[in-house]
Amino acid sequence: MKRLLRRREVSWEDPMVGAALALDLSGLDYLRAIADGRIAPPPVAVLLGMGIVDVQPGRVTFSLEIGEHLYNPIGSVHGGIFCTLLDSAMGCAVHSTLGPGQAYTTLELKVNLVKALTLNTPSVVATGQVISAGRRVVTASGQISGPDGTLYAHATTTCLAVEPRPDGRNGHGRAQPG
Amino acid sequence: MKRLLRRREVSWEDPMVGAALALDLSGLDYLRAIADGRIAPPPVAVLLGMGIVDVQPGRVTFSLEIGEHLYNPIGSVHGGIFCTLLDSAMGCAVHSTLGPGQAYTTLELKVNLVKALTLNTPSVVATGQVISAGRRVVTASGQISGPDGTLYAHATTTCLAVEPRPDGRNGHGRAQPG
Amino acid sequence: MKRLLRRREVSWEDPMVGAALALDLSGLDYLRAIADGRIAPPPVAVLLGMGIVDVQPGRVTFSLEIGEHLYNPIGSVHGGIFCTLLDSAMGCAVHSTLGPGQAYTTLELKVNLVKALTLNTPSVVATGQVISAGRRVVTASGQISGPDGTLYAHATTTCLAVEPRPDGRNGHGRAQPG
Amino acid sequence: MKRLLRRREVSWEDPMVGAALALDLSGLDYLRAIADGRIAPPPVAVLLGMGIVDVQPGRVTFSLEIGEHLYNPIGSVHGGIFCTLLDSAMGCAVHSTLGPGQAYTTLELKVNLVKALTLNTPSVVATGQVISAGRRVVTASGQISGPDGTLYAHATTTCLAVEPRPDGRNGHGRAQPG
């Protein structure tokens, strides 16, 4: 059997450059700077083909272009890609509510996969929105839908706000605004 | 500011070739064929840098090489990559218990992210194992750990076994053994 | 220290009587018969103090009267009671979409507890609504809120529709419409 | 149709008495005092018929006597009761690791219901164990099993440690060690 090879080549900028800029911006300003191209998107977004398309306070939308590079062995987009897109949208929705120097960490997410996604659908969008915003704990939900409104997955997440440090560095080891 | 570009180029084979081979193999044989290189890995595994390292009945282990291509904007591996690795390991653990022509679909997964992962850790492994195997519904759990045993994430999933079709095709729109 | 005893006495009817009636009714008619008092509420509803207050296709609301009998050791309503109320509301939302003789089983639920509930709040309502209804798999979400709209918890669930049996008995070992 | 009434009467002590005692005890000592009967069990435990049977550091086991009072309309134990038992076992496992004056709050739990439970099984036990214990965030898992080892449900939870207050009161509105 002839083995046809398919390729994908991506390039990205040093993610620590944007991370440093984040420290002085509110979450809303930071995310809008990424959406507008003023701050480079993170490597994983370039790798997968996803990006921020809308940022509102407490509500962020990502798009994902569907390509074979996202496929599992059965010929559809891997469920983990749904999770990555939803984690991004929900995490950024939480991030959009934070002030300069504040950060958050995602404690957990739960994703329901409701429909397979293939190349027949050129792109999908994932929207995340904050459900409950406490002083420390913020929860959010998210949905992935196609151009015709078809629902592909839905999710919820629990995030923990991290106090800003006096030195301007946040102390978290993990934060995932994108 | 000088913008240094980093690149990643990947190539993969037509995923439908392996998908066709899967129909005549038990889950265990199919997964071992991927682990041994006799069936090409799926595109998403190549894209991310993950692969099957061990297949036992009801228990499958994946490895992931950590690279900057997996990074979120804050300089650590995106939480969605944890989900993708765990979804793969848990889904394959379920798949490893199925006979030829049988398939499954992942209904949901829940992932706890417990520790950030950076380039300081060269690689991690994720192991998935079946918890409860009913006639139709199978649940599994999974963990991601580093070379020194550090736990990075843990998860559970609910899968639904899909009946084989008379024509040898399974009817599911989504199945994610990898 | 003087130990004041508090009491609760409840009584209920044989739950199998209502279960038998369920076989000939659509989910909507069955749930409305419970809401209207034509079919006795299940024991657990009497025990806890919860009941159906509204039934629409794909959307069911329960109320719960807050009492000290629901308290954990710290002096607030036990988180598991939130789960029970949400499981009821979400499960019945799924049940409300089923035809006569059809049943469902709850595969999993995930509940976020966002605010403590005490006797200061006399009662809460939980509404469950179907998110995605496939041929076999139905997902739903739910929320618990107080009289002033305060959110106490939110949840999602995955249910599996069970085919009716030729003999009129459904084959499930577990189904939880209430 | 003749309507036979069944009854359950329970009584409990003021839960705030035990809550006050908790402030001076480590989690381990507090839970063992409940297990030994030196501190009264919380109302919800009496109401449902559950109790602590074993307390180890990071691992707590509850038992539940199965009775018709726990039934849903279909004639089996309501799924929410599984959640309550698992929330108790997992939350106490977390609590068992805390020092005097420290408290925790349960942020979320996810429960997989794998098998129906009826009066044919006289009692079940639920064991919760800590998976990951960070400075602030602790995760745990839990399982419900019958006398013959049959698995009925499994779960995971995310808890947040709450800093003790200078005045000896913890500031959380919700904590669920039981």
Q: What is the pLDDT at residue C2?
A: 53
B70 or C173, higher pLDDT: B70
- Which of B174-178, D52-56, D98-102 comes out lowest in average pLDDT? B174-178
Task: Determine, for residues C177 and D79 on separate chains, whether the beta-carbon distance falls below 8 Å.
Answer: no
Residue A173, pLDDT above cutoff 50: no
User: Shortest CB distance from B70 goes to which of A6, A43, A81?
Assistant: A43
Disruptive mutation site among A111, A156, A159 for chain C (greatest number of C CBs within 10 Å): A156
Residue B175, pLDDT above cutoff 70: no
Token look-up 């008495």 returns D17
User: Shortest CB distance from B131 goes to which of D110, D137, D154?
Assistant: D154
Task: Determine, for residues B137 and C158 on separate chains, whether the beta-carbon distance falls below 8 Å.
Answer: no
Residue A100, pLDDT above cutoff 60: yes
Q: What is the pLDDT at residue C174?
A: 39
Smallest CA–CA distance from A154 into chain C, residue: C131
Smallest CA–CA distance from B134 into chain C, residue: C107
Token look-up 């995106």 returns B78
Token look-up 């050791």 returns C73
- As a whole number of angstroms, the distance between CA D102 and CA D72 comes to 37
Q: What is the pLDDT at residue A50?
A: 98
Average pLDDT, chain A: 90
Residue B162, pLDDT above cutoff 90: no
Smallest CA–CA distance from D108 into chain A, residue: A158
Task: Determine, for residues D78 and C70 on separate chains, whether the beta-carbon distance falls below 8 Å.
Answer: no
Count the Cβ atoms, other than its own, within 10 Å of residue D6: 16
- As a whole number of angstroms, the distance between CA A50 and CA A111 comes to 18
Q: What is the pLDDT at residue D162?
A: 87
Residues 6+ apart with CB under 8 A from D61: D52, D53, D54, D55, D89, D125, D126, D127, D128
Contacts of C18 in chain D (CB under 8 A): 73
Amino acid C117 reads L
- As a whole number of angstroms, the distance between CA A161 and CA A177 comes to 12
Q: Which two tokens stand for residue B118?
A: 């950076």
- Nearest chain C CA: its distance from D143 CA (Å): 13
> By percentage, how much of chain A surpasses pLDDT 70?
89
Under-50 pLDDT residues of chain C: 1, 165-178
Task: Determine, for residues B139 and D110 on separate chains, whether the beta-carbon distance falls below 8 Å.
Answer: no
Contacts of B160 in chain C (CB under 8 A): 136-137, 160
Residues 6+ apart with CB under 8 A from B175: A72, A74, A76, B103, B104, B105, B106, B162
Task: Determine, for residues D154 and B156 on separate chains, whether the beta-carbon distance falls below 8 Å.
Answer: yes
Mean pLDDT of B40-48: 96
- As a whole number of angstroms, the distance between CA C71 and CA C61 comes to 22
Where does residue C149 fall: left (phi above 0), alpha (psi -120 to 50 degrees), or beta otherwise?
A: left
Contacts of C126 in chain D (CB under 8 A): none
- As a whole number of angstroms, the distance between CA D92 and CA D105 comes to 11
- Nearest chain A CA: its distance from C37 CA (Å): 35
Q: What is the pLDDT at residue A20?
A: 84
Mean pLDDT of A86-98: 97
- Give the pLDDT band of residue B177 (cuts 50, 70, 90): very low
Q: What is the pLDDT at residue D164?
A: 61
Q: What is the pLDDT at residue B136?
A: 94
- Nearest chain D CA: its distance from C60 CA (Å): 16
Q: Which two tokens stand for residue A122?
A: 């050129």
pLDDT tens-digit map of B115-142 = 999 999 999 999 999 999 999 999 999 9
Which is it for the CA torsion B38, B42, B44, B47, positive or negative? positive
Average pLDDT, chain D: 90
Structural Rg of chain C based on CA atoms: 17
Task: Determine, for residues C151 and A132 on separate chains, whether the beta-carbon distance falls below 8 Å.
Answer: yes
User: Shortest CB distance from C156 goes to which of A115, A156, A158?
Assistant: A156
Q: Which residues of B124-159 are buried (b: 16+ CB within 10 A; e: fewer)?
A: bbbbbbbbbbeebbbbbbbbbbbeeeebbbbbbbbb
Smallest CA–CA distance from A153 into chain C, residue: C132
Residues 6+ apart with CB under 8 A from B133: B58, B97
- ipTM over 0.85? The verdict is yes
Where does residue C143 fall: left (phi above 0), alpha (psi -120 to 50 degrees), or beta otherwise?
A: beta
Contacts of A154 in chain C (CB under 8 A): 131-132, 139, 141, 156
Whole-model pTM? 0.93
Task: Determine, for residues A151 and C132 on separate chains, whether the beta-carbon distance falls below 8 Å.
Answer: yes
Amino acid C35 reads A
Q: What is the pLDDT at residue A21?
A: 83
The DSSP code for B77 is B
CB of A71 closer than 8 Å to CB of B43: yes
Residues 6+ apart with CB under 8 A from A9: B7, B8, B9, B10
- As a whole number of angstroms, the distance between CA A42 and CA C169 comes to 55
- As a whole number of angstroms, the distance between CA A172 and CA C153 comes to 26
Amino acid B68 reads E
- Nearest chain D CA: its distance from C130 CA (Å): 18
Q: Could you tell me if D1 lies within 8 Å of chain C, comparing CB atoms?
A: yes
- Using CB atoms, list chains with 3+ pairs below 8 Å to chain D: A, B, C
- As a whole number of angstroms, the distance between CA B88 and CA B128 comes to 8
Task: Determine, for residues D109 and C79 on separate chains, whether the beta-carbon distance falls below 8 Å.
Answer: yes
Residue B67's SS3 state is coil
Q: What is the pLDDT at residue C3?
A: 61
Smallest CA–CA distance from B135 into chain C, residue: C172
Task: Determine, for residues A156 and C110 on separate chains, whether the beta-carbon distance falls below 8 Å.
Answer: yes
Contacts of A141 in chain D (CB under 8 A): none
Amino acid B131 reads I
- As a whole number of angstroms, the distance between CA D112 and CA D127 comes to 15
Q: What is the pLDDT at residue D174?
A: 39
Contacts of C112 in chain A (CB under 8 A): 131-132, 139, 156, 158
Among B residues 118-157, those touching chain D with beta carbons less than 8 Å apart: 131-132, 134, 137, 139, 141, 151, 154, 156
Task: Determine, for residues A158 and D107 on separate chains, whether the beta-carbon distance falls below 8 Å.
Answer: yes
Among B residues 45-84, those touching chain A with beta carbons less than 8 Å apart: 47-48, 68-76, 78-81, 83-84
Q: Which two tokens stand for residue A176?
A: 């995932």
Smallest CA–CA distance from D137 into chain A, residue: A107
What length is written for chain D? 178
Task: Determine, for residues D137 and B114 on separate chains, whether the beta-carbon distance falls below 8 Å.
Answer: yes
Smallest CA–CA distance from A76 into chain B, residue: B174
